[in-house]
């Protein structure tokens, strides 16, 4: 099943995801100090234990958030790299196609120019000659005006 990919959209999406990740990271960083170090509500053991439990959960959340942030950064990097890879492949394919089509066009024009000359004189108007295939024999004559390149 074919999939159409628009490289610029993939690159833009990676940028949008990076922005979302930055916002989430900033929110997590802002929430860390007031949640990881809770003061007990009262001076008793139960309040101290509850504060310690909630602070521990907050530290675990911050550790998990840091790992999620690393994963997110890797995902954004991979997505952006994929977009640029697709873009490079598109440019390569287009340039190869243009190169091939241009060569065909040049050859078509040369054939149009050379056809009357070959018919009348047995020799091209424009073009390269050909080397002899055996020692002591003549090769093919070049064009009257010389080679194209």
Both structure tokens of 19 = 């922005």
* Whether residue 127 has pLDDT greater than 80: no
Domain segments of the chain: what residues?
A: 7-121
Query: What is the rounded average pLDDT for all residues in the chain?
Result: 88
pLDDT in tens, 10-61: 999 999 999 999 999 999 999 999 888 888 989 999 999 999 999 999 999 9
Q: Give the pLDDT confidence score for residue 146 in this predicted structure.
A: 67
Q: 147 or 104: which carries more pLDDT confidence?
A: 104
DSSP for 9-54 reads HHHHHHHHHHHHHHHHHHHHHHHHHHHHSPPPSSSSHHHHHHHHHH
Pick the CATH number of 7-121 from 3.40.50.720, 1.10.287.850, 1.10.760.10, 1.20.120.1200: 1.10.287.850
Strand partners, 130: 140
Quick check: helix, strand or coil at residue 127? Answer: coil
Q: Give the pLDDT confidence score for residue 148 in this predicted structure.
A: 64
* Whether residue 4 has pLDDT greater than 90: no
Q: Give the pLDDT confidence score for residue 36 in this predicted structure.
A: 87
Range of 19-33, 98-112, 132-146 with top mean pLDDT: 19-33
Q: 116 or 148: which carries more pLDDT confidence?
A: 116
Both structure tokens of 23 = 């916002």
């Amino acid at each position: 099943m074919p999939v159409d990919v628009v490289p610029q959209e993939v690159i833009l999406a990676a940028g949008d995801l990076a922005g979302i990740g930055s916002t989430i990271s900033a929110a997590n960083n802002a929430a860390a100090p007031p949640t990881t170090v809770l003061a007990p509500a009262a001076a008793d053991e139960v309040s101290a234990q509850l504060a310690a439990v909630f602070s521990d959960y907050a530290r675990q959340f911050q550790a998990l958030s840091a790992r999620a942030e690393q994963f997110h950064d890797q995902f954004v990097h991979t997505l952006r790299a994929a977009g640029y890879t697709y873009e490079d492949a598109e440019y390569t394919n287009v340039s190869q196609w243009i190169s091939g089509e241009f060569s065909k066009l040049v050859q078509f024009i040369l054939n149009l120019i050379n056809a009357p000359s070959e018919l009348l004189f047995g020799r091209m108007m424009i073009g390269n000659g050909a080397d002899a295939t055996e020692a002591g024999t003549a090769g093919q004559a070049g064009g009257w005006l010389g080679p194209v390149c």
